[in-house]
A and B are shown apart, each in its own frame.
Chain A
Amino acid sequence: GQNIDQPTEMTATEGAIVQINCTYQTSGFNGLFWYQQHAGEAPTFLSYNVLDGLEEKGRFSSFLSRSKGYSYLLLKELQMKDSASYLCAAFTGGGNKLTFGTGTQLKVEL
């Protein structure tokens, strides 16, 4: 079956850097997504990694290691508005089915 694990909750300080980890065990892996979801709202796309390595997009970076089944999302210069749930998701089963982790609730404090 498909299994995606990420921490349930994290707390960080405004202005700091936080790394949210995601490990996956899936068949037919094709790529990994990160989404941000504020309470009561729809998820919004942050990144999609297919190849190993780091992809940077402003204050957000995402890393993938296919051989280790591991990804992380790095958020720099944290702001209060970054308080949200961060969802890791993998394209599996040959690339068509999308499986999500349960999400990491990030709380940014002053």
Chain B
Amino acid sequence: EAQVTQNPRYLITVTGKKLTVTCSQNMNHEYMSWYRQDPGLGLRQIYYSMNVEVTDKGDVPEGYKVSRKEKRNFPLILESPSPNQTSLYFCASSLYETSGSNEQFFGPGTRLTVL
């Protein structure tokens, strides 16, 4: 089954404790992306990656890191989480085609609480 998986789905942590949220896709997609979703602010892109070893900042990259060592995986790293990073996080992937649908497939989401 074609899908994007994220782990963990729920996480409660404390300020300053490094954490990683994993994201994996099995569709051989080039484009992968991380978003956070907050009430009243909608989905905001954190980082995106066009392919292996190619990553770039989205609209809200501060406090986050990513890596793309393999095509299927795109982990999100919070080196020193703070309470303002409490949010719902989504990973997504798609083919990247100039004339195609560019449909993004979203993972189920990770609800993160930083105390």
Name A residues whose Cβ lies closer than 8 Å to a Cβ of B. 2, 31, 33, 41-45, 48, 50, 87, 89, 91, 95-103
Contacts and interface: CB of A to CB of B under 8 A. Distances in A.
A98 B46 CA distance: 10
Given A42-B108, A42-B109, A101 B42 contact: yes
B99 interface: yes
B81 interface: no
B79 interface: no
Interface in B83-112: 90, 98-99, 101-109
B87 to A, nearest CB: 14
- Which 5 A-B residue pairings sit nearest by Cβ, starting from the closest? A102-B42, A42-B106, A100-B43, A45-B103, A48-B101
Contacts of B33: 98
Contact of B45 (A45, A48, A98): A98
Given A42-B90, A42-B107, A96-B48, A91 B42 contact: no
B104 A45 contact: yes
B90 A89 contact: no
B80 to A, nearest CB: 25
Contacts of A102: 40-42
A2 B43 CA distance: 14
